Structure 1
């Protein structure tokens, strides 16, 4: 079982200037705040909080993020309020814990919605966060909840597992958190399709045993040649996660003659881009490449910033994948945004944005001390039933009303946002629940054209106003 001291020991190994006192303080504060509270599986709440932090320490997150993980349930599950938390830990940690509450509220509202436009739902969660570390902690929380979900009913486990594929795994991919994504998918796969899971697990084990000797020989030969050429490199073997294999089964059958070419493979980590291509050239001289499986994500990175060369070779009747990347690319691929240097900034907060932010394409606007705004031109709001509506920035209750239904727009007489009465020209904010008050016989006013934003709303207003 993970202990506080083992967590701190792991943190020391990668963090140059760890704030161990902060983490100890967060742990002690959470332990007192949650004293006597147990989870459904019988474990103490503090054990869950420590395990969530344990997930994050494996991602090399900073001390502040680990402290926030230990405190992530405190505003909702204890008597501690926002003012007390900020007085004890300051603005940054309180802001992260606040953000987690916002994300949990948003995802909770999604459950009530009948509409299942998952892309909109994922966008709403992203639009609700001001700092990507909020989502990193939420994903770690989700991981541990899945690991301990056996105490739930079959239906509850199924619903929770399905959300992995609909919401959480795609969000993990956006942030480059592939290890989180892989573990979540495997846990959810086992819950939703237990027989397929067992079958794939057995197939992967047998296939790995069959090609392990070939992989070892490729590693030895490539390593010797890299040494001879004075190319610094670390070569390790890697095993594909089970759901990834399951998802690729049709491709194995149709393009690889049933051979699982990437179930067990090699990863080469070198010092610079030039040596990535020199390593690829050496492999091509030794073994026959299968060109249809070649991907150069170094020259053409994935949208989330992932970079690596993927090449497949025929060796002794087996197909072996070799991934080649630099150390920096490897850290981004392994730890994603969670371990990005932007969190480790000490001293000058005004360092050029280009230096601080080598992030996912969609996160380029974010920096330390600057709130994250992934969708500057859109707002994501809820109907009272929990469905998500996507509107342009500055959209008003009138725009929302017409988006729900033309007749509701025409008879719009008032509005509430999060239960509070607002004017019809009120600019809606992401995450708000919007309720429209209608009155029979009500007609749009020409004044509405002054603030209506959507083309649909303006068109309908003009139809009525101009007769």
Structure 2
């Protein structure tokens, strides 16, 4: 179980906590421990382990102090005798507002099929209209619950996994928090289709063993080419997540053996100019696959994602996807809307958030659509 000291160190690495900040965190920890006393998770762990883990996830997202404190308190009103007024008195109106918002999302009714997906998605988006942190905290809460889903009865596992797959994973993607969305998809897939998940995971592990030596060799080749072009960049290689590979198999009606680009390489540069120079370096090393180049730098995705995507025929005759972006673009690609937030003296600075809020405003304009299917299509 993550400890409060671990969270404090993680938050301090990007917020530079004052002594009073640390005291507020300790106060929230003590209060949460007090009101959750005697409660346990289905895993048998003390209930306090959950808000601590949620805090850890929020710290990974580099959210502000109010969000971190809310992570410790997010279940107090819903699952204990604590009240919003009491939270307001002890921790202030901002944190009370966030706790209340997370509580309201948790209490949303969950219906069936397309109506469930459309209505749930719409209500979650509406909840971001006043403060998007409410939804970011709820996503962190859902991620930890999915990580510990195995301890629940099977019927509950499937219901929660379906809700996560239908509502929370798409929302995380829409907000650009791709690492979180991918993990939610993989965990949902694991519980909704366990046999296929295990089979595909085993196949991916075999492919990883085959490629383990190749990955380092390819990174070495890329680094060599970048040096030739006088580009200082970071090169990484990663396997695509399980559900992403499964989705490609279903979409293209192919078996795993026919999925060639299961590994993707990333080149993280220091400038926009170097992105295009790095693209030239890659294409000088390997032949690009026609029709597989996408310039999301010139034409960003709606959630702010920017990157160059190219697929090449690598040194071992297999297709390889290579993504090229600056470090700032990488932050957006990993953390989405959260990466746009700049904090000064604890206050949100709106600089850089206009694209995200423009997207949210568009979604809000669709709130009067009557047909759920039409809403999801929009």
Common fold by TM > 0.5: yes
**1:212/1:264 contact within 8 Å kept:** no
Aligned pairs (5 A) from 1:436-451? none
Q: Secondary structure at the match of 1:35?
A: coil
Query: Which residue in the other structure is 2:227 paired with?
Result: 227
Whole-Å separation in 1 of the counterparts to 2:258 and 2:167? 31
Q: State the alpha-carbon separation in 2 of the partners of residues 257 and 103 from structure 1.
A: 42
Higher helix share: 2
Partner of 1:326: 326
Change (3 A) 1:268 1:377: closer
Give the 5 Å matches for 1:13-412.
13-17=13-17, 19-106=21-108, 109-111=109-111, 116=115, 118-129=117-128, 130-250=130-250, 258-261=258-261, 263-315=262-314, 316-342=316-342, 344-346=343-345, 353=350, 355-360=351-356, 362-363=358-359, 375=364, 378=367
* TM-superposed deviation, 1:199: 1.3
Residue by residue over 1:346-396, the C-alpha shift from the partner in whole angstroms, topping out at 9 and shown as x without a partner, is: 3887x7x5x24254264566xxxxxxx951574699xxxxx98999xxxxx
Deviations 1:411-448 (A, max 9, x none): xxxxxxxxxxxxxxxxxxxxxxxxxxxxxxxxxxxxxx
CA offset digits 1:75-94 (Å, max 9, x no partner): 12222212211111112111
Cα distance change, pair 24–340 in 1 and its aligned pair in 2 (3 A): farther
1:321–1:255 CA distance, 2 compared to 1 (3 A): farther
Runs of 4+ with deviation above 4 angstroms: 250-257, 361-365, 387-391
Q: Secondary structure at the match of 2:9?
A: helix
Tell me, which stretches of 5 or more residues in structure 1 are unaligned? Answer: 366-372, 382-386, 392-467
Cα distance, 1:254–1:388 mapped onto 2, change above 3 Å: closer
Q: Secondary structure at the match of 1:13?
A: helix
- Using the alignment, how far apart are the partners of 1:364 and 1:244 within structure 2? 25
Is this contact kept in 1: 2:118–2:372, CA < 8 A? no
Offset from partner CA, 1:215-242 (integer Å, 9 cap, x none):
3222112212323433221111122111
Deviation digits for residues 257-282 of structure 1, max 9, x if unmatched?
A: 81421x22211111121111110011
Tell me if structure 2 keeps the 8 A contact 1:7–1:54.
yes
TM-score normalized by the length of structure 2 = 0.89
Separation in 1, partners of 2:225, 2:357: 36
Equivalenced residue count is: 371
- Judge which range, 208-217 or 309-318, deviates more: 208-217
Other structure's SS at 1:298 match: coil
Say which one has the larger Rg. Answer: 1
What are the Cα deviations for residues 291-347 of structure 1, in whole angstroms up to 9, with x where unaligned?
2322221111111111111111112212211111111110011112223324x2338
Deviates more, 1:276-285 or 1:307-316: 307-316
Whole-Å separation in 1 of the counterparts to 2:116 and 2:141: 24
Contact 2:127 / 2:134 at 8 angstroms: preserved in 1? no
Flag structure 2 segments of 5+ consecutive residues without an equivalent.
none
Determine helix, strand or coil for the equivalent of 2:238. strand
SS at the partner of 2:115?
Answer: coil
Which residue in the other structure is 1:396 paired with?
Answer: none
CA contact (8 A) 1:62 1:339 kept: no
**TM-score normalised by length of structure 1:** 0.73
